[in-house]
Amino acid sequence: MKRELLTGNEAAIKGAIASGAKFMTGYPITPTTEMMEHWAEAAVIDKSLKFLQTEDEMSAGFAMIGAILAGVKSFSATAGPGNILMQDAFSMAENMRLPTVAFINQRGGPSTGTVIYSQQEVNLTCFGGNGEGLRIVYSASSGQEMYDLAIKAFNTAWKYRFPTFILADGYQAKTLTEIETYMPQEKQIEIVEAEPYLLGDKGEKRALRNTYNLEEDLHFLIEKHESAFEEASDNIVEYEEVQLNDAELVIFAHGIIGASAKEAVKILRGTGAKIGLFRPITLNPFPRKAALDSLTGKKYILLAESSLGQFERIVKYNLYGTKIAIEKITKPAMGITAEEIVQKVEEITRSFSGTSFS
């Protein structure tokens, strides 16, 4: 274990290497490009690492799939419009139960968007493609988490065989922070090995397809995938709870906004306010049971996100039936500071006259 000064992009690549990734494909796009550059540099020194800069993100996605079929831990990294193009490959991976891993540094839309703050690729990453959204999506709140989740994502992907993503944004990707790096074995993390889908053991040949002659064939296949996803969900979901015990208001936020919210809780607790935070680390599958449990006896929810409500829809869907007031801060393409959250909480306190959070 050591402490290093790294950008989120560097941390992600170091995490991928520590987790046994051997092949990266990609097409340059801000704010993710440096991941490719760091990998390309690492591949010069470590000859077991392979790299392909492709002609576009579709090619990157499918070349990644080709390498996965050969039994090599492979991944890609992209953002915004690149994520749109790569959905072609993710849709195929989802339906064929292939363990892809992709780092997505979100860009604020519409169109090419901005490159610093954004949580606007939640819909696309969680539910994109012509499938049912059987994907595992982590949302990192810091450079450290980009490292930790990189190691975790490869294991999750290869264990459960669903497309797996790590969401971040340009701010995290490019900010230098002190990060604890480690090899998985130092933390007793067991690495799930990759196995070839094709040209594996000699014997019967395998034909993999994603085309079906009968509607019934596909219907039953999707149902099978869905129940596998449901079954795995309890083991996959992750979340962070901050000072929920006596809280009357719970902030729901993910990723970098979750980090702001955590800071806001600290500030507000300093004033004696009863505020807590529920930060889902997996947006899909969503930690539904834990989220519902966290609300027992609570009065208000404050949702905060750098989007017009992509996270809000997920939260509301999962909290359906809960009788609790929801307030929100939605700022697509922009960051949200701890101070803004503090201010909003104070506004809520004032607007519910007679109610005190302290």
Which residues contact other proteins (rule: CB under 8 A)?
A: 22-23, 25, 50, 52, 54-56, 58-72, 74, 88-89, 91-92, 196-199, 202, 205-211
Least separation in angstroms between CB 67 and other proteins: 4
Nearest-approach distance from CB 49 to other proteins, in angstroms: 12
Give the chain's largest Cα–Cα span.
74
- Smallest gap from Cβ 199 to other proteins, in A, equals 5
Whether residue 137 contacts residue 162, with contact meaning beta carbons closer than 8 Å, is answered with: no
Question: Of 45 and 208, which CB lies nearer to other proteins in the complex structure?
Answer: 208
Nearer to other proteins, 65 or 295 (CB): 65
Give the shortest CB-166-to-other proteins separation in angstroms.
Answer: 21
By C-beta, is 213 or 296 nearer to other proteins?
213
Instruction: Please check whether residue 194 is in contact with residue 21, taking contact to mean a CB–CB distance below 8 angstroms.
Output: no
Q: Which residues, 6+ apart, have CB-to-CB distance to 168 below 8 Å?
A: 8, 12, 103, 104, 105, 106, 139, 140, 146, 255, 256
For residues 271 and 265, is the Cβ–Cβ distance under 8 A? Answer: no
The DSSP secondary structure of 287-348, one letter per residue, reads -HHHHHHHTTT--EEEEEESSSSHHHHHHHHHTTT---EEEEEE-TTS---HHHHHHHHHHH
Looking at residue 25, the DSSP 8-state letter turns out to be: E
Nearer to other proteins, 197 or 286 (CB): 197
Please provide the size of the chain in residues: 358
Looking at the Cβ atoms of 222 and 290, the one nearer to other proteins is: 222
Structure tokens at 200: 């594996």
Nearer to other proteins, 91 or 322 (CB): 91
What would the two tokens of residue 151 be?
């190691």
- Residue 75 parent element (H or E): strand 74-78
Min. distance of Cβ 58 from other proteins in angstroms? Answer: 6
Q: Is the dihedral of CA 90, 94, 100, 101 positive or negative?
A: positive
| 35/146 with CB nearer other proteins | 35
Cα(12)–Cα(35) distance, rounded to whole angstroms?
Answer: 7
Which amino acid, 163? Answer: P
At closest approach, how far in Å is the CB of 202 from other proteins?
7
Closest approach of Cβ 284 to other proteins, in Å?
22
Closest distance between other proteins and the C-beta of residue 11, in Å?
A: 25
Complex with other proteins: residue 23 or 311, whichever CB lies closer: 23
